[in-house]
């Protein structure tokens, strides 16, 4: 396995939190709780966007 994908424990923890939030949104959407799913999706998007912004010097958006 490549070492290029290694990250700090804090980064890993934050990614798992985002994953868990998105999982909850999917499950609630399946259960027809659309408003809660929307809020979870928005929260995950904001957390992921913030995380990517913090890493801007190390991680660049791929060019098309």
Q: Which residues of 45-62 are buried (b: 16+ CB within 10 A; e: fewer)?
A: eebbeebeeeeeeeeeee
Do the Cβ atoms of 20 and 40 come closer than 8 Å? no
Q: Which stretch, 1-15, 27-41, 48-62, has highest mean pLDDT?
A: 27-41
Query: CA 60 to CA 63: how far, in whole Å?
Result: 9
User: Exposure of 25 by Cβ count < 10 A (0-12 exposed, 13-18 middle, 19+ buried)?
Assistant: buried
| Position 17 pLDDT exceeds 80 | yes
- Residue 1 is predicted with a pLDDT of 41
């Amino acid at each position: 396995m490549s070492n290029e994908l290694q990250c700090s424990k804090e980064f890993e923890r934050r990614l798992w939190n985002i994953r868990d939030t998105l999982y909850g949104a999917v499950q609630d959407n399946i259960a027809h709780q659309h408003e809660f799913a929307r809020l979870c999706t928005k929260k995950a998007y904001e957390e992921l966007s913030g995380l990517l912004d913090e890493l801007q010097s190390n991680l660049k958006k791929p060019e098309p």
